A = this chain, B = another copy of it.
Amino acid sequence: MNKNLKAVNESTVAGIGRLARFFGFNEVMGRLYGTLLMSPEPLSLDDLAESLKISKGSVSMNMRAIERWGMVKEVWMRGERKKYYEAESDMWQVIRNVLSGREMREVQLALQVLGNSVDKLRAAEEELSPEERELAEFYMARVADLRSFFEFAEMMLQSVLATDEGLPPENSPFELRAWDLDRGS
């Protein structure tokens, strides 16, 4: 294959591998997705193992993981016993899958924990000594800061997730919808 094409392919696969690590996945997951993304035809597990020079077992496990994230789709090839995969080429779909299935969960969990903290502090108020009460107020303030951060994050996520074609809506400069929500500060 032409040297330049090969170079582009390789740097893209490497770059997506890097991106994957950055996003808290492992590098192989990214490289698998990247390899499929840069392949005009679906690839089998063996193709992928060969291409990335990793074991069949690793391909199998990592593919399953990225399949769960909706990054790749199985493709049936007639008269073939092998499984073939292709990348989900709507990158925005992939991003939305990840954001809604992981970052969102994380944010909501954090908000819940912080909510509990506020409740605890309020409930305890009565039984506190003066110094403790001061500390409790200090905690309240810090917890409130954390909340505003997570609420902001939640809004950002909702905005991205609300868009249907993923990309900042074709016409309007981003969805304003979410910003209209009360920020509670």
Q: Which of A45-53, A72-80, A144-152 contacts B (4 or more CB under 8 A)?
A: A144-152
Q: Which among B114, B145, B167 is the interface contact of A152 at CB below 8 angstroms? A: B167
In the complex this chain forms, how many copies of it are found?
2
A173 contacts B167, C-beta separation under 8 Å: no
Q: CB-CB contacts of A21-61 with B at 8 A, as 1s and 0s?
A: 01010000000000001101000000000000000000000
Q: Which among B24, B134, B180 is the interface contact of A22 at CB below 8 angstroms? A: B24
B11 contacts A146, C-beta separation under 8 Å: no
Q: Is A19 an interface residue (CB 8 A)?
A: yes
Q: In the bound complex, what is the Cα–Cα distance between A134 and B5 (angstroms)? A: 11
A135 contacts B91, C-beta separation under 8 Å: no
B167 contacts A185, C-beta separation under 8 Å: yes
Q: In the bound complex, what is the Cα–Cα distance between A146 and B92 (angstroms)? A: 10
Residues in A lying within 8 Å of B, measured CB to CB? 1-2, 4-5, 7-9, 11-12, 15-16, 18-19, 22, 24, 37-38, 40, 89, 91-92, 95, 106, 110, 113-114, 116-117, 120-121, 123-124, 127-129, 132, 134-136, 138-139, 142-143, 145-146, 148-149, 152, 155-156, 167-168, 173-174, 176, 179-180, 183, 185
Contacts A/B (CB < 8 Å), 20 sampled? A2-B127, A2-B129, A4-B123, A5-B121, A5-B139, A8-B117, A8-B120, A9-B139, A11-B113, A12-B143, A12-B146, A15-B110, A15-B113, A24-B24, A40-B135, A91-B145, A91-B146, A155-B168, A173-B180, A174-B176
| 3 shortest interchain CB distances as A-B pairs | A173-B179, A4-B124, A8-B117
